[in-house]
Structure 1
Amino acid sequence: MNDKQNKTFYQLIAIATFTKLADLLISAKTTLPWLLTSLGAPIWIISLLVPIRESGSLLPQWPIKQKTQNVHNRILLWRLGIVIQAAAIGGILFAAIFTQNLIAGILILSALLVVSLGRSLTSLSMKDIQGLNIKKGQRGKLVGIASSISGLLSLLTAVLMIMAPDEQSSTIIVFLISLAITIMLISLLLSRNLTAKFADDDDTLNGQDGLWKTLYHQTDLRKLIISRCLLLHGALIAPFFVSTAATNNDNFQLPYFIIASALASFLSSYFWGKLADKNAVKTIFFATLICILASVSFYIFTETDEWWLNIALFFILSLGYAGIRTGRKTYMLDIAQGHTRTNYVASANTVVGYVLLTLGGFYALLQTWISDYVILIMTGALLVGLFHSLTMRAEK
């Protein structure tokens, strides 16, 4: 890479680091389940956190792609998405300070939905930004480095939380949410002078096909979508680790879960990125295997009084899911380019968003009937996803 490419590479690492750190600080798998539990929100609301967080950022991407395909400078869309997210996190902060019980749950879910809408803009546009500025063979490395650095920063934040007294847990959560807003705004400043423009002649698949026609004709895309729908259970199962600890223990253990998530990201993301640059499909396979190990172990030991075991298994789950995300993102960047990539990202995310919303309602319903077996069902979906990954075409 020349000097300009190097500068852009590290600029994108800095931006990705800050946005990932903000995501970790208001995570639907750690911070928000603990916050809702402490505010007395109903358990079914916790079951909806990850589906709302993820589906809200995925469902709008196809219509957004259709409406914004003529916006050649994709950085403008990304900046708008960041502003929307920062404002919505402010709504979560308001709910955390001034409300409780069901009202708190509804307000936080509503604000989380708006956060997700902003994220749909940044997710769609950032794939274009990275694809236009970073060459194949370097993209997994970028994702991995950013995840590792954000994991380290989140780890330091959690250590500071542990040093604070237990009775200040509510104050700490408010601080985390406020910090997430600040970090989002910093990432906006870091985008100064960054450009990502499609060439005027880059009109491949530029909105010519509808959503379902695109899926029908693109075999690789269909297989990736099926894989994502099965493997997202690695994210859906995570809040149960945290809510179980919050229910069964009096101590403030949220910092330890954040440490587990951050440490997993810090230790593994660079490795997963390097592996994904060589073979993203193998990365997905091995990472899924790790998630299955964690899920089965959690199901077996879910009634244990050893609080550290929940955190250890959450660490293993986070380790595996970091690999799934890195492998999936690298695969998406590498199997297409230009507007074709935009079509792939938008169509895949929209379909997965519908599936997530459906699964969220399904598991919320199951939680009231057969709560003891929900984790086992999710683990079964991961197992199917493991074998399905073997059918995906190598991208390199």
Structure 2
Amino acid sequence: MSAQPPFQQPSRPVVELYETLTGDEDARVCKDIPDAACRVQPANFFVHLVSNTASKIGDELASARLVLAWLMAALGAPAALAGFLVPIRESGSLLPQLFVAAYIRRASVRKWFWVWGSVGQGVAVMLMAVVALTLTGAAAGWAIIGLLTLFALSRGVNSVASKDVLGKTIAKRRRGTLMGYAAAMAGAVTLAVGVWLTFQASEDAGIGFFVALLMIAGGLWLLAALVFAALKEAPGATEGGGNAVSEGLRSLSLMRTDRPFRHFVITRALLMTTALALPFYVILAQQEGSGDISGLGILIIATGLAGALSAPFWGRFSDRSSRQVLMLSGAMAGLLGLLVFALVTLGVDWAATHWAFAVYLFIMGIAHAGIRLGRKTYLVDMATEQTRAAYTAVSNTLIGALLLVGGLFGMVAQLAGTAAAILVLSLVTLAGVASAWRLEEVQ
């Protein structure tokens, strides 16, 4: 067995700040990572925190559902192209992971996959800003779609590498806390964006506003890459790093042979309906209200507050029982949907105001943050160093495929109304809660 690299222990101020944020006072939480990683865990904790926070803020500033959609409309791109934004953004980053994981497993040090994935996202977003300055109409729309594909593929590399490196460098009972803090800070930025939109409701922001937003977002991804390059990662196992396609297809057999993993993927698939439901709440708010931008700003403020306030709680709760987090957050989202459907169907006046929908989005934001943190922590903690990359790739690939099918819920909204789509999605979410109840505890 090769000797571990001579990592230097972090300075005392770094250790003290780490202990303050995590409550970690000794090495007892380092049972599942090597000694070399344990010694530098406080420093690595902040590398993860800064890089993940920067990338999450970049995600908010270049949101496909909000910023890119508005930008394409402002550039006069065909409306049909805007319909590809969210599917490409989500599925494009998930579907290739099954095959990317095999390449990542060939490397004993995997942080560089995250670094270059972050660079790819930053460059793609900055080039979108260039498109905004130089192209209009269909040409601009197709250019943004192409760059979003590059962005999504880079994001897919990041997703596989991040969970694998997180499992190697941060011990159990600290991973959820770390992701919670990063999500909270990103949520605070989302709140600021919502405030900006609210106060700019009567003004035309112009192309320059979007260009600046995208350049800042791209810069944050480049900053994240620079910070993550400083991570101290000990070499790890390289088993399973054969031919990408054959290894990827072989990994799919986990759904047949690994019952706990199969159960987790089914649970995640049922609970992904919270992400699909969020746009329908926004559409319903537009239908029931005046549809002005100030109302949208209020909704963004609500989601920003939800992430900022709830993520640290969900993170710490996930370190105790990510299974219970999935149950509680899923129940919140499912029951809320039933309530909103009933209120709207009955025509309750106060239930259709901007402020009522702000409350709905606030609760949905809390629930969605819990599901995201809970399922990420559950996956990392249920896996071993040898299975973590394969688990991540298989689950993300299957969820990516299902997200494309999730567009069928739009047909429900078209045929039976937006409130009916929320009802159906909520019932599926509650089925996910029942599935989560039967999951095994992994913490």
TM-score normalised by the chain length of structure 1: 0.88
Alignment of 1:1-396 (within 5 A): 4-35=40-71, 49-94=85-130, 107-164=143-200, 166-170=202-206, 171-200=208-237, 203=239, 207=247, 210-245=250-285, 248-299=290-341, 300-301=343-344, 306-360=353-407, 362-372=408-418, 373-396=420-443
The corresponding residue for 2:19 is none
Moved more, 67-76 or 26-35: 26-35
SS class of match (2:233): coil
Percent identity of equivalent pairs? 29
CA deviations on 1:59-115 (whole Å, 9 max, x unpaired) are 101111123321222111111111221222235435555667776665544433322
CA contact (8 A) 2:330 2:433 kept: yes
CA contact (8 A) 2:176 2:318 kept: yes
The corresponding residue for 2:7 is none
CA contact (8 A) 2:254 2:262 kept: no
Amino acid at match of 1:341: R
TM-score normalised by the chain length of structure 2: 0.79
CA contact (8 A) 1:29 1:238 kept: no
RMSD of Structure 2 on Structure 1 (CA) = 3.0
Cα shift at 1:282: 0.4
CA deviations on 1:312-370 (whole Å, 9 max, x unpaired) are 2112111100000000010011011212111111111111111112223x234545444
Question: Are the structure 2 counterparts of residues 44 and 220 from structure 1 closer, same or farther at C-alpha, using a change threshold of 3 Å?
Answer: farther
Amino acid at match of 2:291: N
Moved more, 50-59 or 116-125: 50-59
Cα shift at 1:307: 2.1
Question: Are the structure 2 counterparts of residues 165 and 86 from structure 1 closer, same or farther at C-alpha, using a change threshold of 3 Å?
Answer: same
Cα shift at 1:262: 1.8
CA contact (8 A) 1:28 1:50 kept: yes
Ranges in structure 2 where 5+ consecutive residues have no aligned partner: 1-26, 28-37
Question: Are the structure 2 counterparts of residues 52 and 394 from structure 1 closer, same or farther at C-alpha, using a change threshold of 3 Å?
Answer: same
Question: Are the structure 2 counterparts of residues 150 and 292 from structure 1 closer, same or farther at C-alpha, using a change threshold of 3 Å?
Answer: same
Cα shift at 1:280: 0.5
SS class of match (1:210): helix
Question: Are the structure 2 counterparts of residues 140 and 47 from structure 1 closer, same or farther at C-alpha, using a change threshold of 3 Å?
Answer: same
Q: How many Å separate the matches in 1 of 2:331 and 2:170?
A: 30
Higher Cα Rg, which structure: 2
Q: How many Å separate the matches in 2 of 1:6 and 1:211?
A: 33
Cα shift at 1:289: 1.3
CA contact (8 A) 1:283 1:324 kept: yes
Ranges in structure 1 where 5+ consecutive residues have no aligned partner: none
Amino acid at match of 1:55: S
Question: Are the structure 2 counterparts of residues 48 and 366 from structure 1 closer, same or farther at C-alpha, using a change threshold of 3 Å?
Answer: farther
CA deviations on 1:261-292 (whole Å, 9 max, x unpaired) are 22111100010011111100000010111212
Larger relative contact order (C-alpha < 8 A, sep ≥ 6)? Answer: 1
CA deviations on 1:41-69 (whole Å, 9 max, x unpaired) are 77776665443322111110111112332
Question: Are the structure 2 counterparts of residues 136 and 264 from structure 1 closer, same or farther at C-alpha, using a change threshold of 3 Å?
Answer: same
